[in-house]
Chain A
Amino acid sequence: MIHRRAFMKSGALALFAAGFGGVPNFIARAADNRKILHPYKKNKVLVCIFQRGAMDGLMAVSPFTDPNLKTLRPTLFMSPVQAQGGMMDLDGQFGLHPALNSLSSFFKEGRMAIVHGVGSPNNTRSHFDAQDFMESGTPFNKGTSSGWLNRAVGLTGHEATPFSAVSLTSALPRSLYGDREALAISNLQDFAIQMQGNPMAGNMAAKSFESLYDQTSNQLLNKTGKESFEAMKILKSTDIKNYQPANGAIYPNSPLGNSLKQIATLIKMDVGVEVAFAESGGWDTHFNQGTVNGAFARNLRDFSDSIAAFWTDMGQYQDEVTVMTMTEFGRTAHQNGTGGTDHGRASCLFVLGNDVQGGKVYHNIKSLAKADLEDGRDLPVSTDFRAVFSSVSSGHLRLKNTNGLFPGWEGKKVELMK
Chain B
Amino acid sequence: MSLQRMFKTFTIGAIFTLGAAFTNSNSGLSEIKMPYKKAGLTQEQAAAHLLNRFSYGVQPGQIKEVVNTGLEKWLLQQLEASLADTELNRRLETFESLNLSNDKIVNTYLTPAQVIRVAIRNKLIPADSINNADRQKYREQLRLIQEKEGFKPVQELHRQLINQKVLRAAYSNNQLKEVLTDFWFNHFNVSLTKGQSQQYVMTYERDAIRPYVLGNFKDMLMATAKHPAMLEYLDNALSVSNENERTRRQQNNAVLRAARERVEARLSDTSMPGGALVQQAVAARRTQGLNENYAREVMELHTLGVDGGYAQKDVTEVARALTGWAVKPMYKEGPGRQLIENLNQTQLERRGLMVEGDFLFRGDKHDENPKIILGKQFSGKDGYKEGVQVLEMLSSHASTAQFIATKLARRFVADEPSEAIVKSIAKTFQETGGNIKAMLITMVNHPDFWSKNALREKVKSPFEFAISAIRATKAQVMQPFQIYNWCTKMGQRFYYYQAPTGFPDRANFWINSGSLLNRMNFGLALATQKIPGVRINLLSLNDNHEPESADEALRIYSRILLPERDQEENIKRLTAMVRDTQVEQKINEAASKIKTEMVEDEMEEQEVRRQGAGRQGARNKEGDKIQGVNTMNSTAATVAQVVGIIIGSPEFQRK
CA distance A338 to B525 in the complex (A): 49
Is A170 an interface residue when CB atoms closer than 8 A count as contact?
A: yes
Q: Are A201 and B628 in contact (CB under 8 A)?
A: yes
Given that A2-B605, A6-B601, A125-B284 are contacting pairs, would A208 and B591 also be in contact in the complex, using a CB cutoff of 8 Å?
no
Instruction: Identify which of A1, A10, A183 contacts B514 (C-beta below 8 A).
Output: A183
- Answer yes or no: B229 CB below 8 A from chain A CBs: no
Minimum distance in angstroms from A1 CB to a CB of chain B: 8
CB-CB under 8 A from A123, the residues of chain B are: 288
Q: Does A247 contact B (CB under 8 A)?
A: no
- Contact mask A291-316 → B, CB, 8 Å, 1/0? 00000000000000000000000000
Q: Which residues of A lie under 8 Å from residue B297 when comparing CB positions? A: 142-143
Contacts of A224 in B (CB 8 A): 511-513, 516
Kindly provide the distance from the CB of B5 to the nearest chain A CB, expressed in whole angstroms. 29
Tell me, yes or no, whether B83 is within 8 Å of chain A by CB.
no
Per a CB cutoff under 8 Å, which of A162, A197, A216, A232 touches B651? A216
- Known contacts being A213-B650, A228-B513, is A132 close to B570, with CB within 8 Å? no
Q: A192-B517, A221-B459 are in contact. Are A171 and B624 (CB under 8 A)?
A: no
Does B588 reach chain A (CB closer than 8 Å)?
yes
Evaluate contact between A211 and B504: CB separation under 8 angstroms.
no
- Which of A34-42, A236-244, A273-281 has 4 or more CB atoms under 8 Å from chain B? A236-244
Chain B 562-586 per-residue mask, 1 if CB under 8 angstroms from chain A, else 0: 0000000110011001100000110
- Complex formed: what's the CA distance from A228 to B489 in Å? 15
Interface residues of B in 597-617 (CB under 8 A from A): 597-599, 601-602, 605-606, 609-610, 613
B446 within 8 A of A: no
Residues on B with beta carbons closer than 8 Å to the beta carbon of A84: none
Task: Name the interface residues of A241-298: CB closer than 8 Å to any CB of B.
Answer: 242, 244, 286-288
Q: Which residues of B contact A31 (CB under 8 A)?
A: none
Q: Which residues of B contact A200 (CB under 8 A)?
A: 584-585, 588, 624-625, 628-629, 632
- B308 beta carbon closer than 8 Å to chain A: no
A374 within 8 A of B: no
Evaluate whether A184 and B577 lie within 8 angstroms (CB atoms) in the complex, with A174-B498, A224-B516 already known: no
Q: Are A244 and B606 in contact (CB under 8 A)?
A: yes
Q: How far is the CA of A218 from the CA of B508 in the complex (A)?
A: 12
User: Is the CB of B549 closer than 8 A to any CB of chain A?
Assistant: no
Is A199 part of the binding interface, using a Cβ–Cβ cutoff of 8 Å? yes
With A198-B628, A338-B130 in contact, do A193 and B570 touch (Cβ < 8 Å)? no
On chain A, the residues within 8 Å of B520 by CB distance are 193, 205, 209
CB < 8 Å: which of A127, A183, A198 contacts B513?
A: A183
| Most chain B CB inside 10 Å of its own CB: which residue of A123, A200, A203, A343 | A200
Known contacts A174-B499, A342-B283, A208 near B645 by CB under 8 Å: yes
Tell me the smallest distance from the CB of A235 to a CB of chain B, in Å: 10
| Docked complex Cα distance between A194 and B457 (Å) | 28
> In chain B between 300 and 350, which residues have their CB closer than 8 angstroms to a CB of chain A?
300-301, 306
Residue of B nearest to A125 (CB): B284
Of all chain B residues, the one with the shortest Cβ separation from A338 is B130
Cβ distance A7 to chain B, nearest Cβ, rounded Å: 9
Is B369's beta carbon under 8 Å from chain A? no
Q: Please tell me which one of the listed residues B306, B606, B631, B648 contacts residue A198 in the complex, with CB atoms under 8 A apart.
A: B631
Known: A194-B521, A211-B574. Is A172-B650 also a contact (CB below 8 A)?
no
B-chain residues with CB within 8 Å of residue A99 when the two chains form the complex: none
Q: Which label, helix, strand, loop or mixed, suits the secondary structure of the B interface?
A: helix
Q: Please determine whether B650 and A218 come into contact, CB atoms closer than 8 angstroms.
A: yes
Q: How many residues of A contact B (CB 8 A)?
A: 81
Q: How far is the CA of A123 from the CA of B238 in the complex (A)?
A: 13
Flag if B584 contacts A204 (CB, 8 Å): yes
Does B185 sit at the interface, judged by CB under 8 A? Answer: no
Q: Which residues of A contact B100 (CB under 8 A)?
A: none
Q: Is A362 an interface residue (CB 8 A)?
A: no
Inter-chain contact count A-B, CB under 8 Å?
Answer: 226
Q: Look across to chain B and name the residue whose beta carbon is closest to the beta carbon of A203.
A: B588
- The minimal Cβ–Cβ distance linking B269 to chain A, given in whole angstroms, is 11
Give the nearest-CB partner of A238 in chain B: B602
The answer to whether B131 and A195 touch across the interface, beta carbons within 8 angstroms, is no
A23 CB within 8 Å of chain B:
no
Is B512 in contact with A287, judged by CB distance below 8 angstroms? no
Report how many residues on chain B are interfacial, defined by Cβ distance under 8 Å: 92
Across-interface contacts of A339 in B (CB, < 8 A)? 131
Residues of A within 8 A of B206 (CB): none
B151 at the interface (CB under 8 A from A): no
| Known contacts A143-B297, A171-B496; A11/B501 CB under 8 A | no
Q: Are A198 and B296 in contact (CB under 8 A)?
A: no
Pairwise interchain contact B516-A242, C-beta atoms closer than 8 A: no
> Is B570 a contact of A212 with CB atoms below 8 Å?
yes
Residues of B within 8 A of A208 (CB): 573-574, 577-578, 645
* A191 contacts chain B at the CB level, 8 A cutoff: yes
Q: Which residues of chain A have C-beta atoms less than 8 A from B627's C-beta?
A: 197-198
Contacts of B578 in A (CB 8 A): 204, 208
Does A9 reach chain B (CB closer than 8 Å)? yes
Any chain A CB within 8 A of the CB of B488? yes
Select one of A209, A232, A286 contacting B645, CB under 8 A.
Answer: A209
Contact indicator A288/B283 (Cβ below 8 Å) = no
Which B residues touch A11, using CB under 8 A? 594, 597-598, 601
Residue contact A286 to B280, C-beta cutoff 8 Å: yes
Output the least CB separation between A95 and chain B (Å): 25
A222 sits at the interface (CB 8 A): yes
A337 to B269, CA, bound (A): 12
With A288-B131, A337-B276 in contact, do A218 and B598 touch (Cβ < 8 Å)?
Answer: no
- A287: which B residues are within 8 A, CB to CB? 130-131
Q: Which residue of B lies closest to A204 (CB)?
A: B584
Q: State whether A220 touches B491 (Cβ < 8 A).
A: no
**How far in angstroms is the closest Cβ of chain A from B190?**
12
B653 near A196: Cβ-Cβ < 8 Å: no
Do residues B193 and A143 form an inter-chain contact, with CB atoms below 8 A? no
A-contact bits for B621-652, CB 8 A (1 contact / 0 none): 10011011101100001000100110011110
Contact B528 A212 (CB under 8 A): no
Q: Which of A127, A171, A222 has the most CB of B within 10 A?
A: A171
Residues from chain A with a CB closer than 8 A to the CB of B569 are: 215
Interface centre among A136, A171, A201, A213 (most CB of B within 10 A): A201
Q: Contacting A215 at CB < 8 Å: which of B131, B514, B573, B595? A: B573
Question: Does residue A320 face the partner (Cβ distance < 8 Å to B)?
Answer: no
B514 & A343 in contact (Cβ 8 Å cutoff): no
Task: Output the nearest chain B residue to A141 by Cβ-Cβ distance.
Answer: B296
Chain A contacts with B in 305-348, Cβ cutoff 8 A: 336-339, 342-343
Find the A residue at minimum CB distance from B594. A15
Interface: A129 (CB within 8 A): yes
- Residues of A close to B288: CB separation below 8 A: 123
Could you tell me the distance between the alpha carbons of A1 and B628 in the complex, rounded to whole angstroms?
Answer: 30
Give the CA-CA distance A231 to B624 in the complex, in Å: 25
**Are A204 and B280 in touch, CB under 8 angstroms?**
no
Q: Which residues of B contact A9 (CB under 8 A)?
A: 601
A183 to B518, CA, bound (A): 12
Whether B507 and A171, one on each chain, are in contact in the complex, defined by CB atoms closer than 8 angstroms, is no
Given A141-B296, A205-B645, the answer on whether A221 and B284 have CB atoms closer than 8 Å is no
Cβ-closest 3 pairs across A and B: A216-B650, A200-B628, A162-B513
Q: Which residues of B are at the interface with A, using a C-beta cutoff of 8 A? A: 130-131, 133, 193-196, 234-235, 270, 275-277, 280, 283-284, 288, 292-293, 296-297, 300-301, 306, 457, 459, 488-489, 491, 493, 496, 498-501, 504, 507-508, 511-514, 516-518, 520-521, 524-525, 528, 530, 569-570, 573-574, 577-578, 584-585, 587-588, 591, 594-595, 597-599, 601-602, 605-606, 609-610, 613, 621, 624-625, 627-629, 631-632, 637, 641, 644-645, 648-651, 653-654
- In the complex, besides A128-B194, A183-B514, A224-B512, 19 extra interface pairs with C-beta distance below 8 angstroms are A2-B602, A129-B235, A145-B501, A171-B488, A183-B512, A197-B627, A198-B627, A200-B584, A200-B625, A201-B631, A202-B524, A208-B645, A209-B649, A212-B570, A216-B650, A220-B511, A242-B606, A242-B609, A338-B277
A-B contact pairs, 10 of them (CB 8 A): A10-B602, A11-B597, A143-B301, A182-B512, A193-B517, A196-B528, A197-B624, A209-B520, A244-B606, A286-B276
